[in-house]
Amino acid sequence: MKYSFAPLTKNYESSAVRDILAVIQKGNVISFAGGLPAEDIFPIEAVKSAYEKVFASGNGSLQYGATEGFKPLRDAIQAKMEQKGIYTTADKILVTTGSQQTIDLFSRVMLAPGDVVLTEDPTYLAALQVFRSYGAKVVAVKGDENGMDPADLEAKMLEYCPKFVYVIPTFSNPDGKSWNDERRQQLFELAFKHDCLILEDDPYGDIQYHQDEVYRPIASFDREQTHVMYTSTFSKSVVPALRTGWVTGPEEVLQLMIQAKQMNDLHSSSIDQQALYYLLRDFDLNNHINIIRSVYYERMTIMQDYLNQVEPGLFKWREPKGGMFIWVEGPEHIDTGALLGEAVNKGVAFVPGAQFYVNEPKRNTFRLNFSHSTPEKIKLGMDRLMEVLASVPVV
Amino acid sequence: MKYSFAPLTKNYESSAVRDILAVIQKGNVISFAGGLPAEDIFPIEAVKSAYEKVFASGNGSLQYGATEGFKPLRDAIQAKMEQKGIYTTADKILVTTGSQQTIDLFSRVMLAPGDVVLTEDPTYLAALQVFRSYGAKVVAVKGDENGMDPADLEAKMLEYCPKFVYVIPTFSNPDGKSWNDERRQQLFELAFKHDCLILEDDPYGDIQYHQDEVYRPIASFDREQTHVMYTSTFSKSVVPALRTGWVTGPEEVLQLMIQAKQMNDLHSSSIDQQALYYLLRDFDLNNHINIIRSVYYERMTIMQDYLNQVEPGLFKWREPKGGMFIWVEGPEHIDTGALLGEAVNKGVAFVPGAQFYVNEPKRNTFRLNFSHSTPEKIKLGMDRLMEVLASVPVV
């Protein structure tokens, strides 16, 4: 039978990251490719204990729940938001199946074919896929290590009337970059001036290495909650398998997203949501986040020490101030996509950078994840990677 | 700020069931409104033990998982499908966040504005909402207590070239109806003849009261898996809070649905999926389903005994052969929407039937759920409902 699919499915893209992961899972390859948290430090005892409390609370815990999410969890998220300078209320918080679902539901209520979304370049691949799956056109705004260029941003707001601006301002995926405070404020002011929404994706904000630095969420400028949808997740600070994230922002938008979520899946697993509530109540999550920070910082440093051994100037990167990735730019004449085959043959993997780009891809870039591998594996993998990088001709 | 939403959001409908549930949760109302399973017989000890096994299996159980779902669970579902006469393979099974997500993902890859979906009338409200949210036009096919009328079905297939036919052939929501075998076969043959897909929604199929009766899934006719998407869920047979369902069907459609799911939420909670796998492995689910069957049958009988006391002929219903609902039709001059206010004042609630209709609603119908309330509560609630029904004038 010949199937007649919705025309928008023509915009679906296979995820190259997913394809790479499928290949490397087969061999004895050390992977710096996926964006996985360190499972050796998962707080499994605390998670286990939290689930025990759910079952101890009785049969009612296993019944259908509210689309918006488990109310005590939303209260706990509200308190967490306040610590970040985002003042909201529990009824303006929607619990989602990870921030991926936030991106999807927000896109669903906002985007029609032909609409424009402004993004950074490079940016999170799976967000680009979602925007395009709704027929939106993604337009990249120029930027540098401090964030989007305000002049180009304003010019593109005027030219394209975008439905929203999508940003990961803190320890971004893929390039580990963090915006400075001025650029955050400028984005907010321009969005306010031109009545444009911002989708602030903040999965990594908690994983900050240097305690003296301050990264204010863009949503913290939006005191009236009129212009910024802020989303984050417990996938990186607790465990990914929970699939629990949240979103807060303008009430009118949230109400439509709740309707969309109801149609999408009624509600996210309420066993997981209740467990997370008990975990936040009884477990010192801030202390655990401090452990994550120091473990990831150590792993990042080990990886970086290797990169420092490469021919000076040949490969460039910026030391990340948090998050899970080092973004490396090689000499212009190389294609890291071609290099990957060689790397996998040697037993190590990374993600070629090209696919994260909206505009002309920089084929000489690649992304390294340091959070998932233990120090021993990082050393072994980097030994292998060094051989690959050493084979790159200087000219 | 004035928000500019996607035009399709104009098709979003608030769920009247949800609105009713919100009202009655406030008072001391016995609710026959929601479609909730009996929580007093939830197998909480088995569920608890299954989660313990997840955590005992180590930290890897808390990492990101595959979009398709946890492979051992898909294997277990494959075996369960075989028992129902549906021959598939684990790689053609996608685990979803309940069958609601199946309905949504399938609609997402199939429907564009203006497309037609054929349905029964009345049918599952939240499916209608999904279809319309993608801009589809829902067209009802005539039918009777045995299923869709084949002549009208074929005429409408020819007239509308529908994208698919949506049916709940076994113990339907809202009207508790079951198709006979002939009508199932006729639907399949017409779909095959006119190259039309079928979405078979089977959340209640396990809850069958009379063991001598046979209800073959329509998907069991589709040996090559070319025309029927079959979806079911563990919400009714295990517990709803797990939010775990699945779908199997034509591979080409499933592949797009997997891409859509990846964009939608990456994957459903893998803690829950793994727990479900251990539960299916170590718990006698078939025995538990037999308990559900006998408990629900008893509750249905109690409720029906009350209905039998009403003025003969005034209210009509068919004894359901399974599932969770009795569908009642009153005298033509009444509006059960108006009656609901009176009922809530007396401390009992039902769902007026009008909203489940695609065409002209029969305002004299209502849906009673008997699974959620204990026998004592059913008696108390039906005493109250009897007063309301007794107040209805004969002419």
The pLDDT tens digits of the residues spanning A244-297 come to 999 999 999 999 999 999 999 999 999 999 999 999 999 999 999 999 999 999
pLDDT for A203-215, tens place per residue?
Answer: 999 999 999 999 9
DSSP label of A8: G
pLDDT for B92-141, tens place per residue?
Answer: 999 999 999 999 999 999 999 999 999 999 999 999 999 999 999 999 99
Cα–Cα distance measured from residue A70 to residue A242, given in angstroms and rounded to the nearest whole number: 14
Q: What share of chain A has pLDDT > 90, as a percent?
A: 93
Test B253 with A3 for CB contact under 8 angstroms. yes
Tell whether B264 lies on the interface with A, counting CB pairs under 8 A: yes
Nearest residue of chain B to residue A130 (CA atoms): B263
- Tell me what the pLDDT averaged over chain B comes to: 95
Cβ neighbours of B190 in A, within 8 Å? none
Asked if B166 and B123 count as a contact pair (C-beta separation under 8 A), the reply is: yes
pLDDT for A222-251, tens place per residue?
Answer: 999 999 999 999 999 999 999 999 999 999
How many residue pairs from chains A and B have C-beta atoms closer than 8 A? 220
Using DSSP's 3-state secondary structure scheme, residue A15 falls into: coil
Copy the structure tokens of residue A393. Answer: 């001709």
Cα–Cα distance measured from residue A345 to residue A355, given in angstroms and rounded to the nearest whole number: 21
Query: What does the pLDDT read at residue B251?
Result: 97
Query: What does the pLDDT read at residue A132?
Result: 97
Nearest to B59 among A42, A163, A262 (CB): A42
Tell whether B14 lies on the interface with A, counting CB pairs under 8 A: yes
Q: Is residue A221 predicted with pLDDT exceeding 90?
A: yes
Q: How far is CA B240 from the centre of its chain?
A: 12
CA B97 to chain A, closest CA, distance in angstroms equals 6
Q: Is residue B173 predicted with pLDDT exceeding 70?
A: yes
Closest CA to B81 of B69, B92, B65, B66: B92
Q: Is residue A65 predicted with pLDDT exceeding 90?
A: yes
Q: Report the interhelical angle of B125-133 vs A251-265 (nearest 10°).
A: 120
Cα–Cα distance measured from residue B245 to residue B228, given in angstroms and rounded to the nearest whole number: 17
pLDDT for A74-127, tens place per residue?
Answer: 999 999 999 999 999 999 999 999 999 999 999 999 999 999 999 999 999 999
Query: What does the pLDDT read at residue A26?
Result: 65
Nearest residue of chain B to residue A42 (CA atoms): B59
CA B58 to chain A, closest CA, distance in angstroms equals 8
Test B126 with A263 for CB contact under 8 angstroms. yes
Q: Of the ranges A11-20, B20-29, B84-93, B169-178, which one carries the lowest mean pLDDT score?
A: B20-29
Which run of H or of E encompasses B316?
strand B316-317
Averaged pLDDT for residues B284-295 = 97
Report the 10 Å Cβ neighbour count for B7: 11
Q: Which of residues 94-133 of B touch A (CB under 8 A)?
A: 96-98, 100-101, 104, 108-112, 115, 126, 129-130, 133
Averaged pLDDT for residues B133-157 = 98
Nearest to B39 among A9, A62, A108 (CB): A62
Copy the structure tokens of residue B245. Answer: 């369902």
Nearest residue of chain A to residue B108 (CA atoms): A6
**Measured between alpha carbons, how far is residue A366 from residues A173, A264, A352, B130, B151 in Å?**
12, 35, 4, 40, 60
Question: Looking at the DSSP assignment, which residues form a beta bridge with residue B388?
Answer: none
Q: Is residue A328 predicted with pLDDT exceeding 70?
A: yes
Closest CA to A134 of B67, B117, B164, B260: B260
Q: Which of residues 60-99 of A touch B (CB under 8 A)?
A: 60-65, 67, 96-98
Tell whether A26 lies on the interface with B, counting CB pairs under 8 A: no
For the CA atoms of B173, A260, B9, B119, what is the dihedral angle to 10 degrees? Answer: -20
Cβ neighbours of B49 in A, within 8 Å? none
Query: What does the pLDDT read at residue A13?
Result: 86
Evaluated on CA atoms B215, B218, B221, B225, the torsion sign reads negative
- Work out the pLDDT band at B26, boundaries 50, 70, 90: low
Cα–Cα distance measured from residue A314 to residue A312, given in angstroms and rounded to the nearest whole number: 6
Nearest to A266 among B52, B65, B98 (CB): B98
Query: What does the pLDDT read at residue B250?
Result: 98
Test B243 with A134 for CB contact under 8 angstroms. no
CA A387 to chain B, closest CA, distance in angstroms equals 30
Averaged pLDDT for residues B317-341 = 95
CA B27 to chain A, closest CA, distance in angstroms equals 18
Asked if A218 and A249 count as a contact pair (C-beta separation under 8 A), the reply is: no
Copy the structure tokens of residue B50. Answer: 């299954």
Asked if B44 and B382 count as a contact pair (C-beta separation under 8 A), the reply is: no
Q: Is residue B289 predicted with pLDDT exceeding 90?
A: yes
Q: Which of A31, A266, A274 to mutate to test the interface with B (most CBs of B within 10 A)?
A: A266
Report the b/e string of B249-286 with b at 16+ CB within 10 A.
bbeebbebbbbbbbbbbbbbbbbbbbbbbbbbeebebe
Map out the domains of chain B with their CATH numbers: 7-42+286-390 (3.90.1150.10), 45-282 (3.40.640.10)
- Work out the pLDDT band at A369, boundaries 50, 70, 90: very high
- Beta strand segments in chain A, E: 30-31, 93-96, 116-119, 137-140, 143-144, 147-148, 164-167, 197-201, 228-233, 245-248, 316-317, 325-329, 348-349, 351-352, 365-369
Tell whether A198 lies on the interface with B, counting CB pairs under 8 A: no
Query: What does the pLDDT read at residue A394?
Result: 72
Q: Is residue A200 predicted with pLDDT exceeding 80?
A: yes
Closest CA to B99 of B222, B12, B204: B204
Cβ neighbours of A226 in B, within 8 Å? 1
Nearest to B60 among A39, A252, A264 (CB): A39
Copy the structure tokens of residue A87. Answer: 């003042």
- Beta strand segments in A104-225, E: 116-119, 137-140, 143-144, 147-148, 164-167, 197-201
Residue at A322: amino acid letter: G
Using CB atoms within 10 Å of the CB of residue B176, give its burial: 0 to 12 exposed, 13 to 18 middle, 19+ buried. Answer: buried
Q: Which of residues 230-259 of A touch B (CB under 8 A)?
A: 235, 239-243, 250, 252-253, 256, 259
Using DSSP's 3-state secondary structure scheme, residue B200 falls into: strand
Test A263 with B134 for CB contact under 8 angstroms. no
Asked if B362 and B353 count as a contact pair (C-beta separation under 8 A), the reply is: yes
